[in-house]
Amino acid sequence: MLQNNEVILKHPIIEHKLSILRDKKTGTKEFREVIGELSMLLCYEALSDAQLEELEIETPIARMKGKRLNENNFVFLPILRAGTGMIDGVLKIVPNAKIGHIGMYRDEETFKPHSYYYKVPKGIEDKEVIVLDPMLATGGSIIDTIGKLKEQNAKKIKVLCIISAPEGLKAVHNKYPEVKIYCTAVDEKLNENAYIVPGLGDAGDRIFGTK
């Protein structure tokens, strides 16, 4: 069942790219490239409501009024380590955005996230923060990240992920229904180890070639 906070991108090219990611035979280089491509498409969609500023420009033919994005108003916040694999893609859309980092690891027994690093740009309360994490499984890391941002009075928060589990989407929606989550697929379920099924395996290991 879809949650009100979900935006799922549907397109033949996205389906094609997802199949490449899911295939266990896909190598590290291609996996990284496709993560970046899908991240770029997710960012494009997430900024569909972005506010533009008017400015006057001159084309080779005439003067005119154009519009531009104030890129300083945006912060990308990857959840370490897998979220860093999405940075190159989103920076192709907003190259001058600020970048923060939050480090989390998952307890393999309880599946609960533990935070070990957090650093965001100054003035976060006045910026739009876009959290990056390829996999939304239980939702614990996303919920904790949103909580830390709200402690610093961040008001506009969005989440980009490649694949989500229905359990995680529901958990985030129940805690923070105002935060929109953009993804390219909602999979079947979580297994007994809290991995997404069918998923694509461990995104961090596949991005960095550590397994």
Residues with catalytic annotation?
106, 110, 202, 205
- The answer to whether 111 touches 138, Cβ cutoff 8 Å, is yes
Q: Find out whether the peptide bond into 68 is cis, omega within 30 degrees of 0.
A: no
φ/ψ (deg, to 5) at 114: -125, 125
Name the E strands within 138-183: 156-160, 163-164, 180-183
* 74: nearest Cα among 128, 1, 18: 128
CA distances from 59 to 39, 62, 64 (A): 32, 5, 7
Provide the residue type at 198 as one letter: P
The letter for the amino acid at 171 is A
- CB-based contacts of 128, cutoff 8 Å, min separation 6: 50, 73, 74, 75, 156, 157, 158
- Report the distance separating Cα 156 and Cα 153, nearest Å: 9
